[in-house]
Amino acid sequence: MKIEVFFSPVGIDELGMRGRNVIIIDVLRATTTICTALSNGAREVIPTADIENATKISSNLSSDSRLLGGERQGKKIDGFDLGNSPAEYSPEKVRNKSIIFTTTNGAGAIHKCRYASTALVASFVNVSAIVETIVEIGGTWTILCSGRQGAFSVEDATCAGMIISKVKEVSEVDTEDAGLTTLILYKNYKKSILGMMKKSQHGQYLVSIGFEEDLKFCSNVDGVPVVPVVSGLVVRIKQPGSSAQSITGQTP
Ligand code: MLT
């Protein structure tokens, strides 16, 4: 397999992602929250880059079938139902709901992948499920790290390294300098993913605004073993038992 890594979505647009097999990562916290919402029974997540668009989509859906979720500066947006803490997305709150979701980095990165051939949402909480799926599909993959405000983030890159490392356990992997760097990071931090998050810039910021528990949740490797698939404008879960091939070529 061939796996390339982008450390941030800056300079990447929808057309650049078109036709690719992509894995989008925003460990703290967007992709962890999406995995959790879908695992807890949300019908779908609709990621969008800005608040105005989120509100517009929401006004087109019936109020008992949708929730508005997301953050700015890490905090719940005024008038929204939910913030961006994965634990908020409990089965009682999200079952059968469409979640319109806007976050600073992750939601926009996912939105940029809407024309990808296959686009999967990954985090530490679902890393093995993602690896199993991409190994079954094979071919060439791009890992898109959401990063932080356009810059590198160590937690996303370490998660990319964990994915590549696990693929290497079962298949040859051809990667480039960015991919090799993620492998070094993963080797360095694999004994304490939570420790790495506590040192990271965004981890420290989240602790400073009262979200230390989220770091524990987000570092729980394979705690939420789902495969969220981006299909045009929505993210839905791959049904257990369905073939990996059935999720390829989801988008135009
Ligand atoms: C993002 O998309 O930027 C984040 O998930 C930020 C956060 O809420 O921690």
Instruction: List pLDDT tens digits, range 220-245.
Output: 999 999 999 999 899 999 877 787 77
The count of domains in the chain is: 1
Work out which ligand 1 atom sits closest to the CA atom of 74. Answer: 8
Q: Please state, as a whole number, how many other Cβ atoms lie within 10 Å of the Cβ of residue 112.
A: 23
Q: Say if 241 falls within a structural domain.
A: no
- The CATH number of whichever domain residue 146 belongs to comes to 3.90.1560.10
Range of the domain at 84: 2-226
25 CA distance to ligand 1 middle (Å): 11
Q: Is 29 in the pocket of ligand 1 (CB under 6 A)?
A: yes
In short, whether 84's Cβ falls inside 6 Å of ligand 1 is yes
Predicted TM-score of the model (pTM): 0.96
Torsion of CA 156, 159, 161, 162, to 10 degrees: 180
Tell me if 200 CB under 6 Å of ligand 1.
no
HSE (CB half, 13 Å, CA atoms) of 54? 29
- Asked whether residue 31 is assigned to any structural domain, the reply reads yes
Residue 242, in any domain of the structure: no
In a domain, 238, yes or no: no
Mean pLDDT value of segment 41-56: 96
> pLDDT by residue (tens digit) across 134-188?
999 999 999 999 999 999 999 999 999 999 999 999 999 999 999 999 999 999 9
Tokens of 243: 């073939």
Q: Which atom of ligand 1 is nearest to the CA of 148?
A: 3
Q: Is the peptide bond between 43 and the residue preceding it cis, with omega within 30 degrees of 0?
A: no
Helix ranges (H only) for 138-192 are 154-170, 177-189
Residue 212 lies in a domain: yes
CB of 130 closer than 6 angstroms to any ligand 1 atom = no
Distance, CA of 210 to CA of 192 (rounded, Å): 21
Q: Ligand 1, closest atom to CA 108? A: 2
Residues 6+ apart with CB under 8 A from 217: 32, 36, 85, 86, 87, 125, 223
Q: Based on the number of CB atoms within 10 Å of its own CB, is 140 exposed (0-12), middle (13-18) or buried (19 or more)?
A: exposed
Q: Say if ligand 1 is within 6 A of residue 219 CB.
A: no
Any domain includes 252: no
